[in-house]
Structure 1
Amino acid sequence: MRPVALITGGSRGLGAAIARELVRTHRILVGGTNPRSVDAMVAELGDAEPFIADLRDDSALAHAAAGVERVDVLVHNAGVEMAKTVEESTRQDFREMFEVNVFAVAELTRLLLPKLRETRGHVLTINSGMGFRSTSRGALYSGTKFALRAFTDALREEERGRVRVTSIHPGRIDTDMQRAMMARDGREYQAELYIRPESVAATVRLAIDTSPEANIDELQIRPVTIT
């Protein structure tokens, strides 16, 4: 039986690139909320099946997780981005950001941890350069990524010797989210300045393929050109 990799946000952008990379060696559970786009990705990959769940819905997430019979790799890729000043940011803004970027990660990990222990599996969180430092209008997004890094660090120490845990910190990636961010800021989009999703997927592969006695705790990948 091939090992199983669950990728949240696996139907497009970086998640799709990770799925295409890992399907060479793993059966893929394509996470997402849109059945049409998830099913299209499942059909493309071949050795795959859908994992449909609204990550903000505890009941839906628990139901979906209960249907997972085996998991060797859990890639927390799904995330949302919002840029506002502290003055502009409301309590609800913070709630929405933390629900997807932190709380859902913690809950799905908790639900699948027994199965990950059975396979001596691997949890990977797709973080950000903003998990180390923030910028103007970065309190919301960076706040979630700092929290995600703390969660990942704690999980790594708690599960050391049972489950491997890696934090991936990319810089700006050539995705639809990046295009939307540039459009919002009124900046010209130049794809060549940003990291290809396939390059980030390769860092995920590197962490997973590390021999069993070793763990890559953290990886950073940045564009050659600073933007």
Structure 2
Amino acid sequence: MGTYLITGATGGIGTAVAELLRERGHDLVLTGRSPDRLDKLAATLRTGAHASTQVIDPKAPRVGPSTRTIRTIPLDLTEPRRIEAALALDDLPPRLDGLVHAAGVVHLSPVADLEADEWIDHLSVNLVSAAELTRLLLPALRAAQGHVVFVNSTAGLRANPEWAAYAASKFGLRALADSLRAEEPSLRVTTVYPGRTATEMQRSVRAQEGHPYAEDDFAAPSTVARVLVSALETPRDAVVSDVTVRPS
């Protein structure tokens, strides 16, 4: 079993990924802005349906909530320069099997109305913090020949009206993933491009667009998470470099 760090762990896709990885018996490091929400998520994952109970080796101790760990680290990704200091307060594992970048923000606006602060917020959370966190965790990822997954967006493939700031940050995230893949041959790097997904972010987007939100209109976070975890579980003789998940 491995150790995985998830950003945006209290969001829809981040939580779904955490649930699947926990069910498979992995150690988790959960990050998000709200300490209270992180603690609630960790408590849920330690008990009930998502508690890890798999036995990998009949001679090995049973893998359960008492033997696998879930840790939480509050991180404000709007302040990328402070990430290093925040991580320094925690004794992070020397080996990291996976880093899942699931955090993100979006605010729709035409270019004519986008002020500098909105550009900075999008780029800080969606791109710069991902780059900085990856940089800081590279030694642990290299030690485990780990896997970095970037939860991008179909907006990272095509920019539509009023999506300029968000799309620009996601186009940049795609470039970060491609460069990292070329620079770090011992790591596997995957970009997942979800289409519209039934999350609180999507609820906010629909409100900004002036349309009602209907959960059944979109892909479930658990569906995106299954695709993502399948990429993580691909045998080491191959890598899923890019995968798009759209609602049917």
Alignment of 1:91-110 (within 5 A): 91-110=116-135
CA distance in 2 between partners of 1:53 and 1:189 (Å)? 29
Shift of 1:30: 1.0
* Pairing 1:51–2:73 present: yes
Partner residue in 2 for 1:212: 236
Partner residue in 2 for 1:28: 28
Whether the aligned pair in 1 keeps the contact of 2:30 and 2:73 (CA below 8 Å) is yes
Give RMSD over aligned pairs: 1.2
CA distance in 2 between partners of 1:80 and 1:59 (Å)? 18
Query: Unmatched 5+ residue regions in structure 2?
Result: 47-68
SS of match in other structure, 2:104: coil
Whether the aligned pair in 2 keeps the contact of 1:127 and 1:145 (CA below 8 Å) is yes
Partner residue in 1 for 2:13: 14
Length-normalised TM-score, structure 1: 0.94
* Pairing 1:193–2:217 present: yes
CA shift in 2, pair 1:75/1:119, >3 Å? same
Length-normalised TM-score, structure 2: 0.86
Shift of 1:79: 0.7
Shift of 1:58: 4.2
SS of match in other structure, 1:198: helix
Alignment of 1:52-131 (within 5 A): 52-58=74-80, 60-66=82-88, 67-69=91-93, 70-131=95-156
Identity %: 36
Whether the aligned pair in 2 keeps the contact of 1:75 and 1:123 (CA below 8 Å) is yes
* Pairing 1:137–2:162 present: yes
Larger Cα Rg: Structure 1 or Structure 2? 2
Whether the aligned pair in 2 keeps the contact of 1:125 and 1:167 (CA below 8 Å) is yes
Deviations 1:140-166 (A, max 9, x none): 110101010011011011112x11100
Shift of 1:64: 3.7
Report the count of equivalent residues: 222
Whether the aligned pair in 2 keeps the contact of 1:152 and 1:167 (CA below 8 Å) is yes
Query: Unmatched 5+ residue regions in structure 1?
Result: none
SS of match in other structure, 1:102: helix
Partner residue in 1 for 2:195: 171
CA distance in 1 between partners of 2:155 and 2:80 (Å)? 27
Residue 34 of structure 2 aligns with an amino acid whose one-letter code is N
Shift of 1:14: 1.2
